[in-house]
């Protein structure tokens, strides 16, 4: 396994002077490619990256996940709200009249857009009475002239084309009321509200996962920090499971409660996110709680600075964990020596975990996580400029993020990798398969390609879009979040 030396192709004007050298993981700015060669002394030009289409408005949607039926669950970090959006219906109508109405709407939209009907999605269908000339609809009704007493309101979308249209239908007739080309094309509903401790930029509702057996059990899991009665400076991290009943979060059940409270000095390096592995177990990433002096990331009796592997039923240690039989060790620990891993993703074939780790102003890493491995914190905690980010203790990263013109070991080289997801790029003809990484500072979505068959050597890094918080892939489409909502990235937005 080797670190591939690269320099990212995008250039950033004047950003170096703006980078905070704070030790907090929020402002930790991760780098973008491998150890850079001695290149960038040329004039830097700020790139213009593609911007996706706003799918649903939200307030700091730190984490989001899709259910098999196409619903999008997301967390709002500071409000304590878990919400549901539906970019597509994910359902097939059983009523032949509804299907006829949908077919009419799709046929018309296909004529308008040139898109194949097979590539269209139905957002919703609603039976309704249509007033004369569509009065009272609040829709653009220029083509709505007939009096139709009963029909359907159909919303058809072509998410890959960042468009949608609203139709009215009845008795074989169809009228297009509105074509949506930009702006929000979905809405959201409240699933559950929970008390959160949002103090500091890294506390609140942080992670969410959909149970792999969701279609039978309806389980949704969230990772969050909650207030402690009588304590204004600390909070209690927990994992809570909800049961979805007709779009409402019921039976909140705490399955992980015994995590250390957050640092009273700063609510930082709390992590983290939740994901299910191909093995069916629940994985949770946790930062070191800004407790660098305690070396907790290397302490196997502590869950901090670790990736945990859990039974989904009760949050206990999953069988087969690497330290399950070692006395004095937290048996939930899967890997350790991490500083501030916001997110992680599984390779769809190998099942191995890619996890970025934010450094204190430099040496931001991408690690290939393997059971029982140590990733070097606190030995590699670097509030200094070492000769290299490699060989500082533990397993070396497979990639280092860095800004153009800076070496990854230099302070102010970081870019704060936040969200990650693995892309199989069938829907995106201009992209290859690889790991998507959302860089918080300076708001870039990168694609990292790996060499087969081990997928542990970086071949290429490309800046493909803007991004700020997180990224997910569902049904081959790229979705990412910014502070104002969740976006979908259409393939044509990436055409040179």
pTM: 0.79
CATH number of 16-83+189-494: 2.120.10.30
State the first-to-last Cα distance of the chain, in angstroms, to the nearest integer: 33
Task: Return the pLDDT at 470.
Answer: 96
Q: Which residues pair with 209 in a beta bridge?
A: 221
Q: Which residues pair with 424 in a beta bridge?
A: none
Task: Return the pLDDT at 380.
Answer: 61
Structure tokens at 45: 């030009």
CA distances from 327 to 300, 307, 324, 330 (A): 10, 19, 8, 9
What is the rounded CA–CA span in Å between residue 219 and residue 428?
31
Containing H/E element for 293?
none
Range 244-258 average pLDDT = 96
In the chain, what are the helix, strand and coil shares in percent, each to the nearest 5?
10, 35, 55
Least confident of 81-95, 96-110, 403-417: 81-95
Average pLDDT, the chain: 81
Q: Which part of the chain has CATH 2.120.10.30?
A: 16-83+189-494
Under DSSP, is residue 105 helix (H, G, I), strand (E, B) or coil?
Answer: helix
One DSSP character per residue, 245-294 reads ETTEEEEEEEEE--SPPPPSS--------EEE-TTS-EEEE---TT-GGG
Range 444-457 average pLDDT = 96
CB 145 within 8 A of CB 99: no
What is the rounded CA–CA span in Å between residue 12 and residue 236?
39
pLDDT: is 263 or 239 the higher one? 239
CB 104 within 8 A of CB 170: no
For β-strands 470-474 and 458-465, DSSP reports them as: unpaired
DSSP 8-state code for residue 137? S
Containing H/E element for 235?
strand 231-245
User: Does position 102 have pLDDT exceeding 70, yes or no?
Assistant: yes
Task: Return the pLDDT at 208.
Answer: 98
pLDDT band at 384 (very low <50, low <70, confident <90, very high): low
């Amino acid at each position: 396994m080797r670190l591939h030396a690269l320099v990212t192709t995008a250039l950033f004007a004047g950003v170096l002077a703006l980078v905070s050298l704070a030790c907090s993981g929020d402002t930790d700015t991760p780098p973008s490619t491998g150890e850079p060669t001695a290149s960038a002394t040329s004039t830097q030009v700020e790139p213009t990256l593609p911007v996706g289409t706003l799918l649903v408005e939200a307030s700091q949607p730190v984490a989001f996940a899709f259910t098999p039926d196409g619903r999008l669950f997301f967390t709002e970090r500071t409000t304590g709200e878990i919400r549901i959006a539906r970019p597509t219906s994910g359902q097939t109508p059983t009523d032949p009249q509804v299907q006829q109405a949908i077919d009419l709407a799709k046929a018309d939209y296909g004529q308008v857009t040139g898109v194949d009907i097979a590539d269209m999605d139905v957002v919703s269908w609603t039976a309704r009475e249509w007033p004369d000339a569509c009065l009272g609809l609040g829709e653009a009704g220029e083509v709505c002239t007939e009096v139709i007493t009963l029909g359907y309101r159909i919303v058809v979308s072509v998410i890959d084309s960042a468009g949608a249209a609203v139709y009215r239908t009845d008795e074989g007739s169809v009228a297009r009321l509105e074509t949506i080309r930009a702006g929000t094309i979905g809405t959201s509903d409240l699933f559950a509200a929970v008390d959160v401790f949002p103090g500091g930029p890294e506390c609140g509702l942080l992670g969410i996962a959909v149970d792999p057996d969701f279609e039978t059990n309806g389980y949704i899991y969230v990772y969050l920090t909650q207030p402690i009665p009588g304590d204004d400076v600390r909070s209690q991290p927990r994992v809570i499971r909800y049961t979805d009943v007709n779009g409402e979060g019921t039976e909140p059940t705490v399955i992980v409660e015994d995590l250390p409270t957050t640092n009273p000095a700063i609510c930082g390096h709390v992590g983290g996110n939740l994901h299910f592995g191909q093995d069916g177990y629940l994985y949770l990433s946790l930062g070191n709680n800004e407790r660098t002096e305690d070396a907790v990331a290397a302490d196997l009796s502590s869950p901090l600075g670790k990736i945990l592997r859990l039974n989904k039923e009760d949050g206990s240690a999953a069988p087969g964990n690497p330290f399950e039989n070692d006395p004095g060790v937290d048996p939930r620990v899967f890997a350790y020596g991490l500083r501030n891993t916001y997110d992680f993703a599984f390779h769809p074939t190998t099942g191995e975990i890619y996890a970025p780790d934010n450094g204190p102003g430099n040496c931001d890493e991408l690690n290939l996580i393997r059971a029982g491995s140590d990733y070097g914190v606190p030995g590699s905690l670097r509030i200094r400029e070492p000769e290299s980010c490699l060989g500082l203790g533990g397993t070396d990263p497979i990639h280092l993020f860095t800004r153009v013109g800076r070496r990854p070991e230099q302070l102010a080289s970081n870019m704060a990798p936040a969200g990650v997801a693995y892309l199989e790029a069938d829907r995106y003809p201009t992209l290859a398969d690889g790991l998507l990484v959302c860089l918080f500072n300076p708001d870039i979505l990168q694609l990292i390609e790996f060499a087969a068959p081990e997928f542990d050597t970086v071949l290429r890094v490309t800046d493909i879009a803007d991004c700020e918080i997180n990224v997910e892939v569902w049904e081959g489409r790229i979705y990412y979040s910014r502070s104002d909502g969740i976006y979908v990235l259409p393939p044509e937005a990436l055409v040179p």
